[in-house]
Amino acid sequence: MLFYERFSAGLICVQNPPEPDLDQLRLAIGQARVNAELTLEELAERSGVSRQTILNLGSGKYYGDMRTWLKLSRALGISLDELTAPVWRDSHRDDS
C-alpha cells in the first residue's frame, strides 16, 4: 500500500511501513529472560517491573508501555531494539 507525504519540494509517493506483530512481544520477553539466565523474580527485582506485569507480557494479556520495555531491556542488558526485534520479523512478506 502506498501513501503520499508532503515535503517542501512537493508530494512524493512512499510505501507504508510494515505493521509490527505485537503478539511476538510475549515470545521476546520470555526468550530474552532465558538468554539472560534470569528467573522471573530476578528480572522483576532488577527492572522494577512487577512480577505480575512480566507474567502478563509473557502471556500476551498486556503489551506494556515504553517505560516498561525500557526498564526490562536495561535489566536484561540488551537494547530496546534487540528486545523488540521479533515484532519486525517476516514483516516484509506483505509488501502489497
Q: Give the model confidence (pLDDT) of 71-91 as tens digits.
A: 999 999 999 999 999 998 765
pLDDT for res 8 = 60
> Which CATH superfamily groups domain 21-89?
lambda repressor-like DNA-binding domains (1.10.260.40)
SS3 96: coil
The whole-model pTM stands at 0.76
Whether the CB-CB separation of 71 and 48 falls below 8 Å is answered with yes
Going by C-alpha positions, the residue among 33, 55, 35, 28 that lies closest to residue 43 is 33
Residue ranges of domains in the chain: 21-89
